Chains A and B, each alone.
Chain A
């Protein structure tokens, strides 16, 4: 019996060795360990084994059964491993990935606007908005722009037949905001489209994008204007960016400045680039708003404020080195996909 068991073990291990797949392996299991398997058959013969040999034969039987079971398990793992290895055979991992739905992109103007908005929100500015079809009062009169001002004519400004116009700047949102304000302070930014009757060329669009800012409170000073905008432009262009304020003129601010930042163009010396206009809100604007509101919330004696405006199209062009503003409205995918973040 012992020798029979030994030879069964040898036969089983040889069969395992020869098995090339799961089913062959299963056949080995059935042949040896199954209900009618040869090991099972021998184990049924245990009852005929003399008592003094029972221990030895029993141990042998267990040894053979364990050896075959382990052999099956080991072979199973080996077969699985071989199969797993085969599954990745011939794969060229250097091939391009599947495109999925493809990669889209946000328009560069959206990206710039969002950068500006995120920066200014961190500085406590909330968003505001207003209509693009405006009244002359909101676009000009309330902003201290005289009735015969050069901008107020059909050569430079789009009008509707009913006398309203397409706002020439987002500054009209300043007026809308102050008109509706319940209390001070006001600290808002207003991104939006504006319109000027310019022929479209490499540097002009008849519809363009601006970002307006306004802070009104008691005792807002030129120092606040300077500190705020220096910080803003350094956040946008980098901490070390030089920012300068040149005196200028706008009807609705006094004093007024234009802001330049010093930027390096590729292969050229750094130069001053005009980037924004700003100034302290002219008291005449407050007076006009009060008149419209019928109260004195914006008391010109105690209330001051600063305002600023910048061209987002221009900012995008400067940031990305875009040479022709028309790229921004043509939406050529070859252009847009360069800005896929």
Chain B
């Protein structure tokens, strides 16, 4: 909200406060100061001057030499670069010694050899408006020689953020009231007190009828006849302009002024355009309404309207109608002042996307007791400015609701909550009293308070405690720290496990990515793991429509971005949540780790210009190192469109995740230079393998012996089959086997195309003794015999 310091100063004298002090005062009252703007000039040395004559500067095409009357009786010569004036115009003149906004000091001097005894100013140079491309041309009746700041008083504009609980601060009077409470300064201006003196009279049914007291419990109307609508006087226009409101006509300006002065939003109807009395009712389904903003709105049955005998003439508390608004031709007006319930206003304003200064206030809640005061202030100003005569009475329907009452403060509890045992009862009472609360009664540690009608936020004991905290500030509260031992739970263990994985990957050359969990439909085909994501009902753009079912799409986008930057050795991982739609409805969230790998096995360097490009075994190996459990790679029967070599990664009967090569066609789309490999692992499955402390296994006391075996097998015999054979061998001396060579010759010259040669090292050991060669030979022969029986293998002996 924009707040003018000079406007505020009509209510209390803040001259003893500097701007930083005022800013701090507001800040620590809970009102955030988002900006401070100084307007106009404080210096008396800027005066109104009249241009008597001017001529072209002898040495400069773009300059004029002006003779001006500054009110002193002696003509003054000024060189000026503007062109938008004529002889006789009144313009602001900065005399030597004046200091303009921004600290620009004016001096006598010569411009291109011609004396210039000051400067003629634009509005922008004086901090009162935008650049209009020339001098500020002032009203013809502006008295020559008058200090400019008498006509355009200097002002300071605060841009304040008022929290939603403090609707009472959404006006200059409201803020002044708060500042008076905090500073102890007296309020000096009009209070527009709740006790309006105008006689109120319940309206006849055919004048005002409220059909929906819940949405509008209180409605008042004042008839004013014979007004003459025109431009507002200078002071009123300036007040509104100072806080960024555009003056329209005197009547509309007055209603806006009253809103910004005391927070009561009003509406004026052209009485002659209304047919019949006012009906406050809910709209009919689909009822059309042409609002002041020129838009037609289709209303629903939970929208509140103000109607006349025939049609809606306003959306209650939100916006008036185009057809019944006040125009320059309006003679008789009906001034509405009412209390509208916040929830209905919020609903309607949100649904229609229609927000106004009025709805902003009603939806946060206004003081019901100010409804008549607002009407009275507006009536007084209309009579003063637009003339006419008001009916003696204000017609009312319903009654102002009592939204606040009495609150009991448990003072000991407040002290405990705030951690201020030394806060005395007197101090507490002093604080609440200066905030406008009235002490009704007090016992030892309990006090009963009457809440002022504008403090809608004070409903409970704790609300009063908050006020005390706000006023004393946290400087007064001693800092305290307790030590609490918290048991480690699942979330802690998961976090530590995940951090371990992250650090392990980072130390092996991988960069951790963090991609958005909301991805585009087009990215879904990049998913690994087969689940379906969760679509959002109201996405903001087609780039972010679905909660990801897989992290891989994000990593592929990351790869694409880095390839565009010229990077082709890609090592990325991301650890985070994915979202899966369950077949029976609902969804599941799970933590996963995804890895992407492409390009040379090591960064290029002077050792070797082109290190070998990684293949899929590189990624399998990286995962193997990460999981530290024997990994089973089980090829899938089918590949999704964007992948090849899709396989399930398993450890025993646990599915750990999936691995695949990005389809070359897809890799070409992102201009990948090398094959791209991806994997996605389930964090919970990885963790299962690492549960509990490791149990120590005795070291072998006797040396093992190894035997190598080379064999020829069909080219399509999977390694896994051979590995499974060895894993199944139960010979008491056999410890295990490892593959150390795989050779195939696709050209068919060294070996048939459909054959390949593989070689394994087998290890034998006994726990009791050092083995004899003969014992090992016997065991080895037994295993090789079994091998040839079980597998289509020819052992080379």
Contact = CB atoms under 8 A, between A and B. Distances in A.
A128 B491 contact: yes
Given A96-B606, A206-B544, A101 B508 contact: yes
Interface in B467-503: 469-470, 473-474, 477-489, 491-492, 494-495, 499, 502-503
A336 B489 contact: no
Interface residues of A, number: 88
Of B346, B479, B586, most buried by chain A (CB within 10 Å of CB) is B479
B561 A222 contact: no
Nearest to B478: A223
B347 A148 contact: yes
Interface string A323-334: 000001111111
Contacts of B32: 246, 248, 258
Contacts of B226: none
Interface string B559-603: 001100101010110001101000001110100000000000111
Given A104-B508, A127-B489, A333-B565, A222 B346 contact: no
A207 B517 CA distance: 7
B240 interface: no
Interface stretch (B161-169, B448-456, B641-649, B726-734): B161-169
B466 A254 contact: yes
A153 to B, nearest CB: 5
Nearest to A253: B466
B509 A282 contact: no
B513 interface: yes
Given A104-B508, A132-B577, A188 B534 contact: no
A159 interface: yes
Interface stretch (A4-12, A23-31, A66-74, A118-126): A118-126
Given A105-B506, A193-B577, A219-B416, A329 B516 contact: yes
A207 B587 contact: no
A193 B517 contact: yes
Interface string B417-438: 1111000000000000000000
A126 B496 CA distance: 12
Interface stretch (B249-257, B535-543, B695-703): B535-543
Given A126-B488, A148-B343, A249-B30, A224 B605 contact: no
Nearest to B460: A283
Contacts of B558: 330-331
A104 B585 CA distance: 40
Interface string A186-202: 01100001010111000
A331 B469 contact: no
Contact of A247 (B30, B347, B416, B495): B30
B507 interface: yes
Contacts of B589: 131-133
B343 to A, nearest CB: 5
B579 A132 contact: yes
Nearest to B487: A126
Given A102-B602, A125-B486, A206-B518, A257 B502 contact: no
Interface in A61-94: none
A58 interface: no
B182 to A, nearest CB: 11
Contacts of B516: 205-207, 329
A207 B587 CA distance: 19
Nearest to A95: B606
Given A330-B561, A332-B561, A222 B462 contact: no
21 contacts: A96-B606, A101-B508, A104-B510, A105-B512, A110-B502, A127-B492, A132-B579, A148-B346, A158-B539, A195-B518, A199-B541, A222-B420, A223-B418, A226-B477, A226-B480, A230-B479, A254-B465, A255-B466, A255-B469, A304-B416, A330-B561
Across chains A and B, which 10 residue pairs bring their CB atoms closest together, nearest first? A223-B419, A221-B419, A247-B30, A249-B163, A227-B479, A102-B509, A126-B486, A255-B466, A101-B509, A331-B513
Given A101-B508, A150-B346, A161-B535, 7 more contacts: A133-B547, A133-B587, A147-B343, A160-B536, A222-B418, A222-B474, A255-B470
